[in-house]
Structure 1
Amino acid sequence: MSKELRGQLIYSNPLDSPEAIADFRLEGQAACSFPLGRLRMENAADPKEGQKSNFVLWCPESFPADLSVEWDFWPIREPGLCILFFSAQGRQGEDLFDPALAQRTGEYDMYHHGDIHAFHISYFRRRYPEERAFHLCNLRKSYGFHMVAQGADRIPPVADAAGPYRMRVDKLGAKVAFYINDLLIFEWEDDGATFGRLLGGGKLGFRQMAPLMAEYANLKVYELG
């Protein structure tokens, strides 16, 4: 998809101070700091606890179905992985933070086999040996654990990384595209049947898998269309 399709900037957050994320919703345990004027996140629970040591930080805004999301990313410490959730809402159309939905505390299955729908893109996947040997980005659609697209991850290991890497996700109608530094990583079109109905608007959030440490800045969301 082309940047020329972008319309109005509807959300902008520098992620540069505690005040910038004061209204964000954390699920799980994380340590958030701003040593370089950008959001640094790492697990606060012991990685030996497995999925209980992972977490998701949600932006409080609800966004439309057609959007372009951009953010800057720096990997600081491996191993681990990162995920962006988007178009996240309850399976019956509830707001993601509706108290009627089951409590979520960072364990992965709560997000793909819980009571929400969402897309999620996993990138900088460096948690397991097979991920470190062959770097890929994945797009999954939930409810369910449906792998719908993959592409090569152009971000090098931490030792060679020289961020920021400008990440971008475009969702327009049935199409989803993912870019790193304007290089297309994958593009996929949903038929609205094979993996469930087309997903609409909702919330977005950042997930990390322990013991990764990473930094984020300059979150921007545009209307698409």
Structure 2
Amino acid sequence: MTDEERFAIGDLIYRNPLASEDDVRDFRMEGEAAVSFPLGRMRLENKLDPGLGQQSNFVYWCPIDFPENIAVTWEFRPLREPGLCILFFAAKGKGGEDLFDDRLTARTGVYGQYHHGDIHAYHVSYFRRKETEERGFHTCNLRKSYGFHLAAQGADPIPSVSDAVPPYRMKLVKCGPEILFAINGLTIFHWIDDGRRYGEVLGGGKIGFRQMAPLIAEYADLNVYDVTKIRDTGDDR
């Protein structure tokens, strides 16, 4: 049994083609970014000068609170680098508040607000092409917040923009303490949160797309499914 086969994908609980402004009318932007749909796909790019550093980055949140056991799939197309992409998930206030609760400190896309602010979340960073070491050795990272805990890491199979053949089909599974990330059916990492080393296992919450300037990328066909764990019989035939 492969890692992906250990999880049963159930009912579709949310679908968004990300094809027009109407599809994202309830999404929440933190930071400043241009959102357009020139080819019927959601294109995200920074508005502010990358020279401003973290101030030029942004997060675009889906408004839905999802349960703790989900599989998230989407199509990804990198158009311009450098930069990197992140998917936040299971995001809530540290006290269980809704992510957009007015009692939480306002967030503006600056990274520290998300890992050392007043929210809890997991996030997977992929297509990491910002720093020199990221461009020279491509990885996907899973981190857990509060804190900047590197929980898991795997090789990133997506080439640089000049060699990319999109769309790339991204898949994130969060089932109880288990988190799996795959690209085009290839498992990048599969991590089990023990609920002790980095704090208690996170439950449900919101998902959001983050980009670092000056990267430009497109996203499409966002789907969220119920997911359950399949009992492992030990037979891997």
Consecutive unaligned residues of structure 1, counting only runs of 5 or more, are none
Shift of 1:4: 5.8
Tell me, yes or no, if the aligned pair for 2:7 and 2:227 is still in contact at 8 Å. Answer: no
Candidates 172, 176, 190, aligned match of 1:173: 176
Shift of 1:3: 7.7
Q: 1:28 aligns to what?
A: 31
Candidates 8, 11, 22, aligned match of 2:11: 8
Q: 1:54 aligns to what?
A: 57
Structure 2 distance, partners of 1:147, 1:59, is 24
Shift of 1:6: 1.1
- 1:117 matched to 2:120? The reply is yes
Distance 1:189 1:33, change over 3 A: same
Q: 1:196 aligns to what?
A: 199
Q: Secondary structure at the match of 2:103?
A: coil
Structure 2 distance, partners of 1:148, 1:70, is 21
Shift of 1:7: 1.0
List structure 1 segments (4+ residues) > 6 angstroms apart after TM superposition: none
Q: 2:233 aligns to what?
A: none
Q: Secondary structure at the match of 1:2?
A: helix
Q: Secondary structure at the match of 2:22?
A: helix
Shift of 1:173: 1.2
Please report the TM-score for the alignment, with normalisation by the length of structure 2: 0.94
Structure 2 distance, partners of 1:135, 1:71, is 20
Structure 2 distance, partners of 1:4, 1:57, is 28
Shift of 1:23: 0.3
Shift of 1:40: 0.4
Tell me, yes or no, if the aligned pair for 2:117 and 2:146 is still in contact at 8 Å. Answer: yes
- 1:73 matched to 2:76? The reply is yes
The percentage of aligned residue pairs carrying the same residue is 62
Please report the TM-score for the alignment, with normalisation by the length of structure 1: 0.99
Candidates 61, 64, 69, aligned match of 2:67: 64
Candidates 103, 124, 131, aligned match of 1:100: 103
Q: Secondary structure at the match of 1:156?
A: coil
Candidates 131, 135, 153, aligned match of 2:134: 131
Structure 1 distance, partners of 2:219, 2:197, is 34
Shift of 1:181: 0.3
Structure 1 distance, partners of 2:125, 2:227, is 22
Corresponding letter in the other structure for 2:143: R
Query: What's the Cα RMSD here?
Result: 0.8
Candidates 64, 83, 86, aligned match of 1:83: 86
- 1:140 matched to 2:143? The reply is yes
Structure 1 distance, partners of 2:15, 2:6, is 17
Shift of 1:2: 2.4
Deviation string for 1:179-212 (max 9, x for gaps)? 0001000010011010000100000000000000
Q: 1:208 aligns to what?
A: 211
Q: Secondary structure at the match of 1:49?
A: helix
